[in-house]
Every structure is written in structure tokens, then in C-alpha cells.
């Protein structure tokens, strides 16, 4: 045996001994675990166990086919949540903003209503349906004067919370009505998925690329007068310092049966009510950025494509009006019966093309590059 070989033996032995610790850790979630090791019947139990692992390795949680009624939070970095496919694996909960403030650190009902909260860096969610099952339609059908009507009817399916970054969602279904996807963190890519809802159902200040997906408008229970907007796809509140908000690329804009023609806006500008030194009012620096690039639009899309949104004035009333012409809204390459639109004076031209969007999202995160 040579000296060189002799010196290598301890090194190779140590490397072989260390190898198992470097491999991904795997857990299973199933309605029935039986004698399976590392198996949990509740998804949050698996995530709590994963959080106790303070290593820097990835942890994969495989979620078997089944219906899981839970309110779930991912707060550990490097988590893969892999279901058996959105038809087979379903996570659902029925919280609503009116009563969900208790779930949020600042008693804010909208994020508190989320079925799945992601508040970590490097998270993948795949092959799963995440749904908020609050009975929106029954509530929507009630007259405004009805005491039983819930006024804050937001029901979030997925919350990308403030510490989320590098979140990849693919082959998934995010289902709700009002406020389905709340992008309140940093970078996220949603790929080959379905997002459904009606009122502002993709919204927030995060940087989100939705590609090769379906954005499906769901029906309302209340009657909508001719000429009024039935619903709105996007409500970005992008900070002015951020060049990318919500970008929809190469996706299909569809609708449920009963959603009228020419009744749905691509988006409207959300200026969240914010506390400043001189009062509490709509944030003037939240100038929403939204782009639709090479999308197919069904006939439910309104010929104006974009519309305005009310916000909180300095006197506390909801009388401030924010217009799409003063926002960062952009579209190119639209096709389908809803692609034709009137010129309402959208003049902003500084939107990044898809290659530039990917470059902006991808530093330290190769998954943001083209699939």
C-alpha cells in the first residue's frame, strides 16, 4: 500500500460516514400511517418535526392522497411539500378574515385566514390542492343589510408571508373566492398550476411569476348589473422601489360557467391603508406593477382590461381613487376573444420582458429560470 493510499483511507472513511447526514430527510403524511416510520397523520405535525431539525439540509414531506382539514404554516427553510397530485391530495380550511385575526401576529384577518402560510426561504410545493372553503357564495347572496352577512369575506388559500422567498409552486391548484393568493413576501414562481377566485384573487406586494398556468374566474352569487365589474384578477401593491410585481406569462384566463362576457378586469391598483407619521391612509408609494405576457384571454375579460380602486383618504374615508393610468400596468402578446381592448390611456412602457423578469428573480435561485 502506498503512502498516498494510506493517507486517503481515513479521509474516505470519514466521508462515507458523513454521507448519510448529507442526504435529504424524508417524512410522510398519510390519513393512516399504520407501522410506517417517520409518518404523521397531520401535515403540521410533520412540519413541526422538520422545524426542530436545525441543519441546512432539505427536508421532503410526501403527502399521500387524501383530504386534510388543517390550517398549516411552513416556517422552516428548505422544505419540499410533495403531494400525490392536485386531484388526489387536498389541504383545506374554512377561515375567513372577519374572525381570523387571532391567527395573525398583528390581528389582521386577511392573512390570518390563510389555509397554507409559507414564511420561509426555499420552499417547494408540488402536486397538491390548497383551498379555502369558507362559504363565500352563501354570504355573497345575502343583502348588505342582513345582520348575518360577513363584511370582511376574504378567504386566503395561500399566504406568501413577509419572510418568504424563493418559493416554487408547481402542478398545484390554489382555490378560493376573494383573495385566494396573497403575495406578501419576496420572490415566488407558480408554474403549471390553477389559481381560481373572483375578487382581487391574486394580490399583494410580492414578486410573483405565474407561468404556463390557468387563472380561472369563479362565479358570484349576487346579481351584477350590466356594465358593472363582476370581479378582478390582480390587485398588486408593488413598492415603487421594486421593478417586478405580479407577472402572468403564457397562461390561460378562463371562467366558470355563468361568469358574464366583458365583466372581469385584469387588475386594479391596491394602495394598502398604512400608518405614517402624519396619519393613516392609502400608501402612495405602493404603485402596483402587473404584466400579462403572451396570455390567452376568454371573452369574460372587460374591454377596458384595467380599472380603478378606492383607497383610504387622509380623513379616513374610502374616497381616494387610484387609477390604472397612474399604475404600472402592461400587457403584450394577448390572444383570444378577450384580448381586444379599448385605449383607456395606459401609457407606462417600462415593464421588463420575460427574460428580464427571470434575470431579476433568479439570483441565487436557478429554479426561477426557464423550466
SS3 content of the chain, % helix, strand, coil (to 5): 15, 35, 50
Q: Is 315 a catalytic residue?
A: no
User: CA 319 to CA 35: how far, in whole Å?
Assistant: 61
d(CA 135, CA 153): 9
- CA-to-CA distance for 90 and 83, rounded, in angstroms? 8
Task: Given the residues 179, 261, 278, 315, select the one marked as catalytic.
Answer: 179
17 phi and psi angles, rounded to 5 deg: -65, -35
Residue with cell 383618504: 313
Contact residues for 220 (Cβ-Cβ < 8 A; gap 6+): 137, 140, 198, 230, 231
Residue by residue, DSSP assigns 50-68 as HHT--SSS-EEEEE-SEEE
C-beta atoms surrounding 331 within 10 Å:
21
Say if CB 46 and CB 60 are below 8 A apart.
Answer: no
d(C-alpha 144, C-alpha 18), whole Å = 64
Q: DSSP H helical segments within 226-362, as ranges?
A: 354-361
For residue 145, with 0-12 CB atoms within 10 Å meaning exposed, 13-18 middle and 19 or more buried, which class applies?
A: exposed
Q: Among 200, 294, 315, 343, which one carries the catalytic annotation?
A: 200
The yes-or-no answer on residue 212 being catalytic is no
Which SS3 state, helix, strand or coil, does residue 60 take? Answer: strand
Residues with a catalytic annotation lie at 179, 200
Amino acid at each position: 500500500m502506498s503512502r498516498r493510499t494510506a493517507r486517503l483511507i481515513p479521509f474516505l472513511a470519514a466521508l462515507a460516514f458523513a454521507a448519510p447526514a448529507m442526504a435529504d430527510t424524508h417524512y410522510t403524511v398519510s390519513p393512516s400511517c399504520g407501522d410506517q416510520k417517520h409518518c404523521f397523520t397531520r401535515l403540521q405535525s410533520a412540519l413541526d418535526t422538520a422545524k426542530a431539525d436545525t441543519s441546512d439540509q432539505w427536508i421532503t414531506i410526501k403527502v399521500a392522497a387524501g383530504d386534510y382539514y388543517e390550517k398549516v404554516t411552513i416556517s422552516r427553510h428548505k422544505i419540499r411539500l410533495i403531494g400525490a397530485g392536485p386531484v388526489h391530495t387536498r389541504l383545506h380550511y374554512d377561515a375567513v378574515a372577519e374572525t381570523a385575526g387571532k391567527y395573525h401576529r398583528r390581528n389582521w384577518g386577511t392573512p390570518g385566514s390563510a389555509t397554507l402560510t409559507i414564511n420561509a426561504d426555499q420552499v417547494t410545493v408540488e402536486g397538491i390542492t390548497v383551498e379555502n372553503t369558507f362559504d363565500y357564495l352563501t354570504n355573497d347572496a345575502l343583502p348588505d343589510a342582513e345582520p348575518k352577512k360577513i363584511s370582511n369575506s376574504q378567504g386566503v388559500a395561500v399566504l406568501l408571508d413577509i419572510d418568504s422567498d424563493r418559493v416554487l409552486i408547481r402542478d398545484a391548484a390554489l382555490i378560493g373566492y376573494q383573495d385566494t393568493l396573497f403575495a406578501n413576501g419576496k420572490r415566488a414562481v407558480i408554474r403549471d398550476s390553477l389559481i381560481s377566485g373572483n375578487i382581487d384573487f391574486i394580490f399583494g406586494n410580492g414578486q410573483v411569476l405565474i407561468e404556463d398556468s390557468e387563472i380561472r374566474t369563479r362565479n358570484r352569487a349576487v346579481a351584477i348589473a350590466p356594465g358593472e365589474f363582476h370581479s378582478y384578477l390582480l390587485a398588486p401593491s408593488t413598492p415603487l422601489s421594486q421593478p417586478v410585481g405580479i407577472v402572468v406569462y403564457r397562461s390561460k384566463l378562463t371562467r366558470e360557467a355563468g361568469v358574464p362576457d366583458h365583466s372581469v378586469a385584469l387588475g386594479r391598483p391596491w394602495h394598502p391603508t398604512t400608518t405614517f407619521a402624519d396619519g393613516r391612509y392609502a400608501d402612495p408609494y405602493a404603485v402596483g406593477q402587473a404584466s400579462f405576457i403572451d396570455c390567452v384571454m376568454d371573452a369574460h375579460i372587460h374591454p377596458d382590461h384595467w380599472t380603478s380602486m378606492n383607497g383610504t383618504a387622509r380623513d379616513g374615508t374610502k374616497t381616494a381613487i387610484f387609477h390604472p393610468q397612474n399604475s404600472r400596468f402592461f400587457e403584450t402578446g394577448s390572444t383570444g376573444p378577450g384580448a381586444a381592448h379599448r385605449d383607456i390611456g395606459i401609457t407606462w412602457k417600462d415593464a421588463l420582458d420575460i427574460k428580464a423578469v427571470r434575470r431579476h428573480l433568479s439570483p441565487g435561485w436557478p429554479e426561477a429560470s426557464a423550466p
